[in-house]
Structure 1
Amino acid sequence: MKTHRNTHTNANFKVTKDISNANGFLLPYTLYNKVKTIATYPVKEFYLQNVPELTDYKFKMHKNAFVNDTLTIQAQLVKQDANGYLVNIIVTKAKKSSKNQETICSALFGFPLEERAFQDNKTAC
């Protein structure tokens, strides 16, 4: 019987001049690459080797991030089924005027199923 684990990862990410354009906006491809990497963390334990390439993804920028912003990237395994694993990502930053968070980006990544060799450890008769 397979068990569904609610695996969750949080990571902080600081926007620097090196990953911003001349106006101080975070470059979207830099955020995408960071988010894609963090998305693998909740599913690493399900693979014997490296996590395979994504089979599907949705990535949406909601707001811009700027130099010196500290972003929180939250990755959560939301679905595990016969087709693979789905990891939901939300990137937020603290609002300066309140204790609330504002969403910078959201994403959903799909990873293909790869059975571990020891899950069905059956010997041939």
Structure 2
Amino acid sequence: MKTNTHTNASFIVTKKISNANGFLLPSTLYDAVKDIATIPVKGFYLQDVPEFTDYKFKMHKNAFIKDKLTIQAQLVKQTTTSFTVNILVTKAKTTLNHHERVCSALFNFPVNNTEFTESKTAC
């Protein structure tokens, strides 16, 4: 069975998840990023994905109401003890079809040997 180790998700900033000035609340983006980080590693567990053991989360730019963000999650490292998922959140710039980085994050998920499926170790 092949496991999808890369995921893209859209996220639109609304008035409900922004502050009075129209800025996206970082805690809301963190929650969305945390949920999406589990997707690339779901296929490696027989049951639910365990809680991550370590993470780094950094906001680079603000996002505003009506901004359409893209959250990209990719399994970048697999060891006998953990999986590392890299997250990149971008928003489209109006000029030259470029994207600017809004946020980046790394999440480490533990390998639980009793739940880990040996047949899925190849990425």
Per the TM superposition, whether the score is higher than 0.5 is yes
Question: What amino acid sits opposite 2:118 in the alignment?
Answer: Q
- The match for 2:47 is 49
- The match for 1:108 is 106
- The match for 2:17 is 19
Deviation at 1:98, TM superposition (A): 2.7
TM-score norm. by structure 2 comes to 0.89
Gapped regions of structure 2 (runs ≥ 5): none
Deviation at 1:119, TM superposition (A): 3.0
**1:1-125 aligned within 5 A:** 7-115=5-113, 116=115, 119=118
Report SS of the residue matched to 2:50: coil
**Could you give the per-residue CA deviations for residues 5-45 of structure 1, whole angstroms, max 9, x where no partner exists?**
77110000000000000000000000000000000000000
Question: What amino acid sits opposite 1:13 in the alignment?
Answer: F
**Could you give the per-residue CA deviations for residues 77-118 of structure 1, whole angstroms, max 9, x where no partner exists?**
000001210000000000022310000000000000023465
Question: What amino acid sits opposite 1:119 in the alignment?
Answer: E
TM-score norm. by structure 1 comes to 0.88
Question: What amino acid sits opposite 2:28 in the alignment?
Answer: T
Q: Work out the CA distance in 1 between the residues paired with 2:71 and 2:87.
A: 7
Q: How many residues align?
A: 116
- Alpha-carbon contact 1:6-1:76 (below 8 Å) kept: no
| Structure with greater Cα Rg | 1
